[in-house]
Amino acid sequence: MSTRRSFLKWSGLAGITLAGSSMNTFAVTDAEDTRIIHKSGSSRFNMCNFSAPKIDNVGVGVIGIGNRGKGFVSRLGKIDGVTIKGLSDIKPLRADEAKSKLDNKYHNPTLYTKNAEDWKKLCERNDIDVIYISTPWALHTPMALYAMEQGKHVCVEVPAATTIEEAWQLVETSERTKKHCMMLENCCYDFFELLTLNMARQGFFGEIIHTEGAYIHDLFEGNFSRKKYDSNMWRLNENASRNGNLYPTHGLGPVCQIMNINRGDQFDYMVSMSSNDFMMGDKAKELAVKDNFFAEFSNKSFRGNMNTSTIRTKNGKTIMLQHDVTSPRPYSRIHLISGTKGVAQKYPLPGRIATSHKGWFTEEEMKAVEEKYTPNIVKRMGEIAKSVGGHGGMDFLMDWRTIDCLRNGLPLDQDVYDAAAWSCIMPLSAESLNKRSGSVDIPDFTRGNWKTNKPVDILLEKGGNTKVRG
Ligand SMILES: NC(=O)c1ccc[n+]([C@@H]2O[C@H](COP(=O)([O-])OP(=O)(O)OC[C@H]3O[C@@H](n4cnc5c(N)ncnc54)[C@H](O)[C@@H]3O)[C@@H](O)[C@H]2O)c1
Residue 265 has what DSSP assignment?
Answer: B
CB burial class (10 A; 0-12, 13-18, 19+) of residue 4?
A: middle
Q: What is the pLDDT of residue 230?
A: 75
Atom of ligand 1 nearest to the CA of 140: 41
Q: What is the pLDDT of residues 275-333, one digit of tens each?
A: 999 999 999 999 999 999 999 999 999 999 999 999 999 999 999 999 999 999 999 99
Atom of ligand 1 nearest to the CA of 94: 39
135 close to ligand 1 (CB < 6 Angstrom)? yes
Task: Report how far ligand 1's centroid is from the alpha carbon of 37 (Å).
Answer: 30
Residue 57 has pLDDT above 70, yes or no: yes
Cα separation values, 105 from 69, 92, 130, 158, 304, Å:
21, 22, 21, 31, 50
Confidence category of residue 39, pLDDT binned at 50, 70, 90: low
Q: What is the pLDDT of residues 378-414, one digit of tens each?
A: 999 999 999 999 999 999 999 999 999 999 999 999 9
Q: For CA atoms 400, 212, 258, 202, give the dihedral sign.
A: positive
Mutate to test the pocket of ligand 1, among 135, 155, 237 (most ligand atoms within 8 A of CB): 135
Residue 18 has pLDDT above 50, yes or no: no
Q: What is the pLDDT of residue 457?
A: 83
Atom of ligand 1 nearest to the CA of 65: 39
* CA–CA dist 140, 198 (Å, integer): 31
Q: What is the pLDDT of residues 258-281, one digit of tens each?
A: 999 999 999 999 999 999 999 999
* pTM of the predicted structure, to 2 decimals: 0.92
Identify whether the C-beta of residue 234 lies closer than 8 Å to the C-beta of residue 288: no
Which residue owns the Cα nearest ligand 1 atom 40?
A: 136
* CA–CA dist 277, 265 (Å, integer): 35
CB burial class (10 A; 0-12, 13-18, 19+) of residue 429?
A: buried
Q: What is the pLDDT of residue 229?
A: 77
Q: Is the peptide bond before 348 cis (omega within 30 degrees of 0)?
A: yes
Q: What is the pLDDT of residue 288?
A: 96
Average pLDDT over the chain reads 91
Q: What is the pLDDT of residue 392?
A: 95
Facing residues of 65 across strands? none
Q: What is the pLDDT of residue 258?
A: 98
26 close to ligand 1 (CB < 6 Angstrom)? no
Of residues 435, 35, 68, the one with CA closest to residue 250: 68
94 close to ligand 1 (CB < 6 Angstrom)? yes
Mean pLDDT, residues 119-123 taken together: 98
Which domains, from first to last, does the chain contain?
A: 2-185 (3.40.50.720), 188-375+416-451 (3.30.360.10)
